[in-house]
Amino acid sequence: MSNTAYIGIGSNLGSPRENCERSIVLLGAHPKIEVTARSSFYKTEPVGSRDQDWFLNVAIQIATDLEPLALLDALLSIESSMGRIRAEKWGPRIIDLDILLYEDSVIKSDRLKIPHPEMTQRGFVLAPLAQLAPNLIHPMAKKTIRQLLSELPEDKKVVRL
């Protein structure tokens, strides 16, 4: 498997830890995806509507032979199989799987944006990603993940478990 990608995973419905663990197992069961590393879990404040439970977030590194759109389809299929319903932007969710980075690709299409467009402002993405790949360079910001994390304001709680 020749391409490296990073996936952000989050949940705040049902049993968030079990949901995240299950999604990692399902990703690893895909014949063209190998989970090669994972971060610790992080408990994080919700973005947008605060009238919901905190999220549990984790990041994984994968090796894959899937092209970015095929990888997106695989993630959406796993979300759907786990009961994800897209009802409200930034609302509660049983599982959320996002492609954060795919090699050093920059993709801007109607279906997919890589790097993930909001990742540089989100501690719940950058903290677990910095644990996995602190010196990885963001292809648009031209800074390391560690640098991006250190530049965030301290207004959102991200607690490593």
Q: Please give, one letter per residue, the 3-state secondary structure of 70-101.
A: HHHHHHHHHHHHCCCCCCCCCCCCCCEEEEEE
DSSP conformation class of 48: S
Instruction: Determine the pLDDT at residue 87.
Output: 63
Give dist(CA 74, CA 68) in Å, integer: 10
Considering the candidates 22, 53, 96, 110, report the single residue annotated as catalytic: 96
Residue 161 has pLDDT above 90, yes or no: no
φ and ψ at residue 148, rounded to 5 degrees: -60, -40
104 catalytic? Reply is no
Q: pLDDT class for 158, splitting at 50, 70, 90?
A: confident
- Say if residues 99 and 111 touch (Cβ distance below 8 Å): no
50 catalytic? Reply is no
Instruction: Determine the pLDDT at residue 1.
Output: 74
Q: Which of 39, 28, 37, 110 is nearest to 69 (CA)?
A: 110
Residue 45 has pLDDT above 90, yes or no: no
38 catalytic? Reply is no
What is the pTM (predicted TM-score) of this model?
0.94
Lowest mean pLDDT among 46-50, 56-60, 120-124: 46-50
Instruction: Determine the pLDDT at residue 84.
Output: 79
Considering the candidates 17, 22, 98, 155, report the single residue annotated as catalytic: 98
96 catalytic? Reply is yes
Instruction: Determine the pLDDT at residue 144.
Output: 97
Domains along the chain with CATH numbers: 3-160 (3.30.70.560)
Considering the candidates 93, 110, 146, 155, report the single residue annotated as catalytic: 93
Considering the candidates 17, 22, 51, 84, report the single residue annotated as catalytic: 84
Residue 60 has pLDDT above 70, yes or no: yes
Reported as a single tens digit per residue, the pLDDT across 70-92 is 999 999 999 999 987 766 666 67
Instruction: Determine the pLDDT at residue 89.
Output: 64
Q: Is 118 exposed, middle or buried (0-12, 13-18, 19+ CB in 10 A)?
A: exposed
Reported as a single tens digit per residue, the pLDDT across 104-123 is 999 999 999 999 999 999 99
